Amino acid sequence: MFLLYCAIYRSPQSLKEYRILIVKSAITDLIFIFSVAFVEPRMIASGSTYAYVVIGPAYYFGHNIAFIFYGFVLNMFFYMMLSFPLPFAYRYYVIVKPRDRRVQLLVASLGLYAVAFLQLIAFFFTQTDVVYVRQFLKDHLPEMNITGKVIYGSDMVRNPLTSVMVITCVVTSPPVYVMVLYYRWKVNKVLENKVATLSAATISTHRKLMQAVTIHAALPVFFVFPPICVYLLQHIGVLNVLIIEYLVFAMASCIPVLPSAIYGFVWSTGMILFFISNGLLTQVLSSTVGVLTDVFVFTTIKGSEFKLGPPQVGDFGTDC
């Protein structure tokens, strides 16, 4: 919520176009985190069937509500993955043709969610009859006490669209990261070629923004790929440990938390420097641009002189 507030009301003019990316990221993160916390699913995968035991507050609302919010979890996760290349591509086109691209950015964000929305629609046709899911658990896990528990699930044979959900959440990662690496390479290449035409401050700003979004895009290496591997190992029967059934979504839910935490830490640091220095708070935005870009740019060091003040036009370059 803090990130959303800063993006809407505290964005400096020089980075105003990033507000679209930041707001998109913040809303996606909020829906994802709330849905995971609301359902807290324990996933049991065996053969073609996926059964989920509800641990969170959704328990009091029944299996249908839990299933809907679980759909939001998968939907926001898929949209998150689709959005990773967007800040890289945006930075590339800003460097190549420096002009206001907020309209194109908004259209791209909405277009990506249109794809994700189709996934959400498909998800609502994957719910398997709860009686079948309960019987499946009794047959395959007779030692498990499911009396009084809220359970829902999907079966790939009875509901073929379940396979589409698996593909969107597991198989999309490699092509997404190919695009991330491609646009990151393109940006660095363009910056090298424009050393003579761009100011040092502009090039430095571009590189810092690229470092920020690269860090954010690298988070899935720790919080997406491990859960996917854990899920696959559980699915083929190699790992059948109770804690594994909880870890899949617990690890993935760290993705939106970390960038927002970093953002808040940097912003708080800016406030401390503000009170120590001269009482002028400089807003310097970065973000989680799906996605993290750089929060309050508040300091400029020129030689031995330390300045605390709002970013000037020359600091970002006229072609940023």
Q: pLDDT (tens digit, 0 to 9) for every residue of the chain, 320 residues total? A: 666 666 566 655 555 667 777 788 888 888 988 998 899 888 888 778 889 999 889 999 999 999 999 999 999 989 988 988 888 888 888 778 767 677 888 899 999 999 999 999 999 999 999 999 999 989 888 888 888 899 999 999 899 999 899 888 888 888 888 888 888 888 888 877 766 566 677 677 767 777 767 776 666 666 666 666 766 666 666 666 666 666 666 666 665 555 555 444 444 444 444 333 333 333 333 333 333 333 333 333 333 333 333 344 444 444 44
How far apart, in whole angstroms, are the C-alpha atoms of residue 108 and residue 91?
14
**pLDDT computed for residue 189 by the predictor:** 84
Please, are residues 209 and 91 in contact by the beta-carbon 8 Å criterion? Answer: yes
pLDDT at 274: 38
Give residue 291's pLDDT.
34
Q: If we measure between CA atoms, which residue out of 27, 172, 26, 22 comes closest to residue 86?
A: 22
C-alpha to C-alpha distance for 265 and 100, rounded to whole angstroms: 29
Are 66 and 54 a contacting pair, CB within 8 Å? Answer: yes
To the nearest 10°, the Cα dihedral for 311, 317, 318, 320? -100
Residue 5 confidence (pLDDT): 64
| Domains in the chain, CATH or no CATH each | 18-254 (1.20.1070)
The sheet with strand 41-46 has its strands ordered as: 41-46, 49-54, 151-155
pTM over 0.85? The answer is no
> Comparing C-alpha atoms, which of 138, 173, 167 is closest to residue 153?
138
pLDDT at residue 161 in the model: 93
Return d(Cα 258, Cα 262) in angstroms, integer: 6
Locate 251 and state its tokens. Answer: 């690890």
Helices (H), the chain: 2-9, 19-39, 63-83, 85-96, 102-123, 130-140, 161-166, 173-193, 200-218, 220-223, 225-235, 242-252, 254-276, 313-316
